[in-house]
Structure 1
Amino acid sequence: MTKAEHFLKVNNEEGRIDKVLTEKYPEFTRTQIQSMLKKKFILVNNKPKKANYKVQAGDEIAIIVPKEEVIEVKPENIPLTVVYEDDAIAVIYKEAGMVVHPSKGHLSGTLVNALLYHMDNLSDGSDELRPGIVHRIDKDTSGLLVIAKNNEAYEKLTQQFLDHSIEREYIALVHGEVEHEEGTIDAPIARMTNNRMKRIVAKEGRHAVTHFKRIELFEGYSLLTLNLETGRTHQIRVHMKYINHPVVGDPMYGPTDSVDIHGQFLHAGVLGFKHPETEEWVRFTQPLPDYFTKKLEKLRNNN
C-alpha cells in the first residue's frame, strides 16, 4: 500500500507529542494523532511513542499516513423483499444475517448492494456507502427498514428519527422470566473502551430509553414487545442484558450456548412514520420469520 509521510525535526516545539503535532499539522485532529500514535504510525527517532511523550529538541518525527482504501459499492442480484414502494420511499424486509451497508469487513452481500441492483433511484444517504439508507438494524436482527429514494425524502425521514416521532416496535425472546408486565429502561449507552464493537450502560453514555411489555411467559424465557424512544446502537440488546434478560441467540450480549444459526430472536415488526411526500401517517407490519415462530411453538409445547 502506498504511504505518504510527513517529517518534522523538533526545534522550538515543546510539550506532549499529540499537542505539538496537532498544532503543526491542523489537517489532523488530536484524536486522529492519538490514534496514529497508538497504531505506531508515528515514530520518534524511528521508535513508537505514547501520546504523553514530551518532545525534545533534535527529535525526528515521522508521520506515516496509510492511503485510504477505496471501497466500491456494486449492484448485486440479491433477492429483496419489498413490502411497499412508491416514487419517494420503499419499505424493505431485511432477513436476519444480512448486513445493511458495506464496510471494510462486509464489501458485498449487503442490503445496499441489493438496492442498487433492484432500484433505479436512491438518495445519496449519509455517505457513498449508504445510498438510500435512513436507519439500520443489526445484522442478526430481522425486520422493516424505510429506504429514501430521493434526497428530500431522506432529509424529512432523518428529521423524524431525530425528533423520535418514528414508531418502531420490536418483538424479542429473552432469557429468564421477566417479573413486570411492562416497564421502561432509562439507561445511557456508551461504547466500550476496550472493545469498539460493543456497547455498555455507563453514566457518561448517550441518553437511551426502551419501553417493554411482557406478552407471554415460558419456563426460563419471556416474549416481549419493545418500543424505542431513542435509537442507539444495539440499544435493545444492551438494555436487556442490563436488566439480566439478554436476547436469546445474541452472539455479543447473550450466553454463548444460546446462539442460533438463524440469528438472534429480535424482530423489528412494526414501522410507522409520516410519509415524506404526502405527509400522511403510514404504518407497516411484518410477521415473525419462520425460525422465530418455530422456536415459540417449541417453547409452548414444552410448557
Structure 2
Amino acid sequence: MQKQPVFSVREEMQLLPFLLEKYPGKGRNKVKSLLTRGQVMVGNRVVTRHDHLLGAGDKVTILQTGSVKQRELMAGIKIVYEDEFLLVVDKPPGLLSMATDEEKERTAYRILNEYVQGHNGGARIFIVHRLDRDTSGLMMFAKTAAVKNQLQDNWKDIILERSYMALVEGEVKEKQGTIKTWLKESSTKTMYVSRPGEGVIAITHYVVVEQTPEYSLLAVQLETGRKNQIRVHMQSIGHSVVGDKRYGSKRNPLERLGLHAQVLAFKHPISGETLRFETKIPKRFKSLFPVNKPPV
C-alpha cells in the first residue's frame, strides 16, 4: 500500500504556499485540487481552505484519493466554497443532510459541524436547505444564525439559480415544459398533487438533454422549492425519477435516486457578490445514453 506523505511545518505560513513548496513540479491548479478534494489533513482534521494558517510543529498529511481515512473524515463530502459566513459543499448520495428520528449520527450536518469545530472549538454550522438522502449535489450551510436567518428570510431574492439533473423513466415527449401544481403532504409524509388552492403552489421547469426509449435525462430548474417537488412532479407527468420507488419508479439502474443538484447560484448575503457553482453530471447518469447518439 502506498505510504501517505507527511510534512512537518517549521515556521508559520499559509497552507497553499506550504504545499506549493512541497510540490514544486505539480503546478498550482493540481496542488489546489488536493485541497478541493479533501486530501489535505492538518493534524487530525481535513482542511480545504487555501489560507489556513499553519503553525510551527504542525503535521500536514496528504491523503490518497478515496483512502479509508479520507472517507472516514469527510464521508465523501467535497467542500466547493468556504468563507467566514458560508460553506457550499457537494454532497454524495446516501448521506442524510441532517438527523431524523431514525438516524442521528451519519449526517452531512454532523460531519461539517465537526469540520468547522476543528478550526474553532466554538464554531457551528446551520442548515439552510436540504437534499434528500439519495440526492447528490450542491448544498449551502450558514456559519452563523444571523446569516442563516437572512438566507431563509430572503431566499427568493438571494437564490438566482437552483437546477438539477434528473434521470427519469421513459421517453419524455415534450422536449421542454413547465409543471405547475398544488402540493400537499399526506399523513405518511408523502407529497401529492392536490386540488387547486389546497396546499402550496409548486413550479418546475425542465428541458430534455438526452433520451432513449427507456430513459430521459432532464435539466430541471426550480422556481419554488417544495419538499420532494421534482420527484412528485415527474411522477405526475408519468416519468418517475429512476430509483424513486416512493413516487412510482419501477427501475433502479443507478442503485440510487436519479437526482443531482448541479447548479447553485446566489447573491452572497454579506458582500452581495454573485457566486455560481456547478458540478459535473454524475458519470452513472450519462452511462445510460449511447456516446455517439446526437443530442435531442
**Cα offset, 1:163, TM superposition:** 4.6
- What's the counterpart of residue 68 of structure 1? none
- Take 1:228 and 1:261, find their aligned partners in 2: how far apart are those partners? 23
- Take 1:247 and 1:199, find their aligned partners in 2: how far apart are those partners? 14
- What's the counterpart of residue 84 of structure 1? 81
**Cα offset, 1:180, TM superposition:** 1.4
Supply the AA of the counterpart residue of 1:103: T
> Which deviations, in whole Å up to 9, do the C-alpha atoms of 1:33-76 show, x marking residues without a partner?
xxxxxxxxxxxxxxxxxxxxxxxxxxxxxxxxxxxxxxxxxxx8
- What's the counterpart of residue 202 of structure 1? 194
Change (3 A) 1:255 1:189: same
Indicate the percent of aligned positions where both proteins have the same amino acid: 37
> Which deviations, in whole Å up to 9, do the C-alpha atoms of 1:79-132 show, x marking residues without a partner?
3310111111110111111110011111111101111211136987xxxxxx42
- What's the counterpart of residue 289 of structure 1? 282
Supply the AA of the counterpart residue of 2:104: L
Supply the AA of the counterpart residue of 1:110: T
- What's the counterpart of residue 176 of structure 2? 182
- What's the counterpart of residue 101 of structure 2? 104
- Take 1:294 and 1:85, find their aligned partners in 2: how far apart are those partners? 32
Q: Would you say how many aligned residue pairs link Structure 1 and Structure 2? A: 217
**Cα offset, 1:263, TM superposition:** 1.2
> Which deviations, in whole Å up to 9, do the C-alpha atoms of 1:138-171 show, x marking residues without a partner?
1111110011011222122213325584410111
Change (3 A) 1:164 1:151: closer
Q: Residue 135 in 1 paired to residue 132 in 2? A: no
- What's the counterpart of residue 228 of structure 1? 222
Gaps of 5+ in 1: 1-75, 125-130
Larger radius of gyration: 1
**Cα offset, 1:288, TM superposition:** 2.1
Note the aligned Cα RMSD (angstroms). Answer: 2.4
Pairwise mapping of residues 147-166 of structure 1 onto structure 2 (< 5 A)?
147-163=141-157, 165-166=159-160
Supply the AA of the counterpart residue of 1:202: S
- What's the counterpart of residue 238 of structure 2? 244
**Cα offset, 1:300, TM superposition:** 5.7
Q: Secondary structure at the match of 1:295?
A: coil
- Take 1:143 and 1:254, find their aligned partners in 2: how far apart are those partners? 23
> Which deviations, in whole Å up to 9, do the C-alpha atoms of 1:189-214 show, x marking residues without a partner?
11123x22x11001222111101111
Change (3 A) 1:94 1:147: same
Q: Secondary structure at the match of 2:247?
A: coil
**Cα offset, 1:298, TM superposition:** 8.0
Gaps of 5+ in 2: 1-71
- What's the counterpart of residue 50 of structure 1? none
- Take 1:299 and 1:200, find their aligned partners in 2: how far apart are those partners? 38
- What's the counterpart of residue 275 of structure 1? 268
- CA contact under 8 A between 1:218 and 1:300: conserved in structure 2? no
Please give the TM-score of this superposition, normalised by the length of structure 2: 0.67
- Take 2:202 and 2:123, find their aligned partners in 1: how far apart are those partners? 28
- CA contact under 8 A between 1:123 and 1:148: conserved in structure 2? no
- What's the counterpart of residue 26 of structure 1? none
> Which deviations, in whole Å up to 9, do the C-alpha atoms of 1:213-238 show, x marking residues without a partner?
11222122211111111111100000
> Which deviations, in whole Å up to 9, do the C-alpha atoms of 1:237-261 show, x marking residues without a partner?
00000010111111311334x1356
Please give the TM-score of this superposition, normalised by the length of structure 1: 0.66
Supply the AA of the counterpart residue of 2:173: E
- Take 2:104 and 2:292, find their aligned partners in 1: how far apart are those partners? 38
- Take 1:164 and 1:78, find their aligned partners in 2: how far apart are those partners? 28
- Take 1:296 and 1:141, find their aligned partners in 2: how far apart are those partners? 20
Change (3 A) 1:123 1:237: farther
